């Protein structure tokens, strides 16, 4: 079997016949053009309206998927498919499956994933709500391209084709509508070849509201984008927070040493705020590393070159050592604060900077040690958590 058309289905008895007929016409065209055989699979998600029986009578193969959700149904259908080329599309009549023929041609020519683009193919009147067409889809596609540089013009088109090998490499796990974003994001992260072909969107054939909930599913897509982007979710805020906090603390330290009794606007409140910024930036950096390593270990992300360059030096042991050094410096600083306080006969200090720095160093030390154990656990309880993996 060469090509498998997979449609997720939940009570679509009124739409299946024209959809399966369109798939069969597309398979006939694919057989004529490329000499490939195919099948139609209905990934049923628990229909109670007789969809399974109708699909069987129409010559499709039904794959029962117990896990609920759009993405879960498609994953189950893909796993049950026999083809080396996989085509996905909705079972509501909104997509023209005949347009999958050039997508299969793109896969034959070497692409790993072929995305449909409804803005190039055409959106018929009434096929897409205005808020999806002019707000939701462009905004989510723009954010996805900003974070992952996929180059996709329509990141949420439901008509797509991909190779079986690509599907296996992506290790897709999304159960809901975020599955659409997950597929293109992980393909981009792994360096898969992604192309687009025009796709037409028509009003669906349902006599009931669609399963899609624009605001709920839009939020699920958006949060998923950031879940798979530790650089934007953790690393960038970490750099900004540490840089700003360090600058404030550096200026406060300079004034403490060279202008100790000059009143300035940079008082203790700013010092405390800067300490919090550095502490938050430090833990955010550890979370960025943890997220990156999780993606590498899960198989959908390639390790960054600079991480591999640090692999000889950054281990659980070195992070424990660095944490202990931070803690020792912080403790020494606080002991000096107590000694100085005693020497001043327990009078009020003119600056909180030394105490804040000592507390910050102890906090950074503890976070470094705990972060090292977290990274080791994520990497399969391996102390050399930055080493390259096959």
Q: What is the mean pLDDT of residues 159-179?
A: 92
Q: What is the largest CA-CA distance in the chain?
A: 96
Q: Could you report the per-residue pLDDT of 204-225, keeping only the tens digit for each?
A: 887 666 656 666 777 877 888 8
Q: What's the distance, Cα to Cα, between the start and end of the chain in Å?
A: 31
Least confident piece of the model among 50-59, 79-88, 356-365, 378-387: 378-387
- Structure tokens, 230: 């530790």
Q: What is the pLDDT of residue 312?
A: 76
Q: What is the mean pLDDT of residues 65-84?
A: 95
Q: 262 or 258: whose pLDDT is higher?
A: 258
- Structure tokens, 109: 């020519």
Residue 246 — very low, low, confident or very high, per pLDDT cuts 50/70/90? very high
Q: What is the pLDDT of residue 351?
A: 84
Q: Could you report the per-residue pLDDT of 119-130, keeping only the tens digit for each?
A: 999 999 988 887
Taking alpha carbons only, the member of 220, 217, 226 closest to residue 148 is 226
CB atoms within 10 A of CB 358: 20
Q: Could you report the per-residue pLDDT of 18-70, keeping only the tens digit for each?
A: 999 999 999 999 999 999 999 999 999 999 999 999 999 999 999 999 999 99
Residue 359 — very low, low, confident or very high, per pLDDT cuts 50/70/90? very high
Give Cβ neighbours of residue 241 (< 8 Å, ≥ 6 apart): 277, 278, 280, 281, 284
Burial class (CB in 10 A: 0-12, 13-18, 19+), 7: buried
What is the percent of the chain with per-residue pLDDT over 90, rounded to a whole number? 64
Q: What is the mean pLDDT of residues 97-107?
A: 96
If you ran DSSP here, which 8-state letter would residue 99 be given?
Answer: G
* 356, 272 Cβ separation under 8 angstroms: yes
SS3 sequence, 83-96? CCEEEECCCCCCEC
- Residues 116-143 as b/e (b if ≥16 CB within 10 A, e otherwise) read bbbbebebeeebbeeebeeebbeebbeb
Q: 137 or 94: whose pLDDT is higher?
A: 94
Question: Residue 7 — φ and ψ, nearest 5°?
Answer: -120, 125
Q: What is the pLDDT of residue 390?
A: 42
Q: What is the pLDDT of residue 111?
A: 97
pLDDT higher than threshold 60 for residue 113: yes
Q: What is the mean pLDDT of residues 7-25?
A: 94
Q: What is the pLDDT of residue 295?
A: 87
* 217, 119 Cβ separation under 8 angstroms: no
**What torsion do the CA atoms of 247, 253, 254, 256 make, to the nearest 10 degrees?**
150
Q: Where are the domains of the chain?
A: 3-227, 230-378
Q: What is the pLDDT of residue 388?
A: 52
Taking alpha carbons only, the member of 357, 316, 351 closest to residue 334 is 357
CA atoms within 13 A on the CB side of 190: 25
Average predicted confidence (pLDDT) for the chain: 90
Q: What is the mean pLDDT of residues 186-199?
A: 94
Task: Scan for tokens 């650089």, then name that residue.
Answer: 231
Least confident piece of the model among 113-122, 187-196, 241-250, 309-318: 309-318
Q: Could you report the per-residue pLDDT of 278-327, keeping only the tens digit for each?
A: 999 999 999 999 998 888 888 888 877 777 777 778 889 999 999 999 99
Return the CATH class of domain 3-227: alpha beta
* 38, 3 Cβ separation under 8 angstroms: yes
């Amino acid at each position: 079997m060469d090509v498998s058309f997979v449609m997720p289905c939940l009570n679509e008895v009124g739409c299946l016949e024209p959809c399966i007929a369109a798939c069969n016409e597309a398979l006939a065209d694919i057989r004529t053009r490329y000499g490939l055989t195919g099948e139609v699979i209905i990934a049923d998600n628990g229909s109670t309206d007789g969809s399974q029986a109708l699909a069987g009578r129409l010559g499709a193969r039904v794959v029962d998927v117990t896990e609920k959700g759009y993405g879960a149904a498609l994953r189950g259908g893909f796993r049950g498919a026999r083809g080396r080329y996989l085509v996905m599309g909705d079972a509501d009549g909104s997509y023209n499956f005949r347009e999958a023929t050039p997508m299969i041609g793109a896969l034959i020519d070497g692409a790993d994933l072929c995305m449909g683009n409804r803005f190039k193919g055409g959106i018929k009147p009434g096929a897409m709500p205005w808020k999806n067409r002019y707000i939701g889809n462009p905004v989510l596609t723009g954010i996805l391209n900003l974070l992952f540089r996929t180059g996709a013009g329509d990141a949420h088109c439901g008509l797509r084709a991909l190779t079986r090998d690509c599907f296996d490499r992506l290790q897709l796990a999304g159960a809901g509508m975020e599955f659409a974003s997950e597929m293109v994001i992980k393909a981009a992260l792994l360096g898969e070849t992604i192309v687009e072909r025009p796709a037409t969107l028509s009003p669906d054939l349902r006599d009931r509201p669609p399963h899609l909930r624009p605001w709920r599913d839009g939020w699920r897509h958006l949060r998923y984008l950031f879940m798979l982007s530790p650089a934007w979710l953790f690393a960038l805020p970490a750099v900004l927070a540490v840089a700003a906090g360090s600058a404030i603390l550096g200026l406060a330290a300079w004034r403490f040493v060279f202008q100790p009794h000059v009143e300035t606007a940079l008082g203790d409140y700013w010092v405390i705020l800067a300490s919090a910024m550095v502490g938050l930036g430090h833990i955010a950096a550890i979370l960025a590393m943890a997220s990156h390593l999780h993606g590498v270990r899960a198989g959908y992300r390639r390790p960054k070159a600079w991480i591999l360059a640090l692999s000889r030096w950054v281990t659980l042991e070195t992070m424990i050592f660095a944490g202990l050094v931070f803690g020792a410096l912080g403790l020494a600083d606080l002991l000096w604060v107590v000694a100085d306080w005693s020497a001043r006969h327990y009078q009020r200090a003119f600056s909180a900077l030394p105490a804040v720095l000592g507390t910050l160093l102890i906090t950074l030390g503890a976070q470094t040690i705990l972060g090292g154990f977290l990274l080791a656990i994520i990497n399969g309880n391996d102390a050399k958590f930055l080493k390259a993996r096959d």
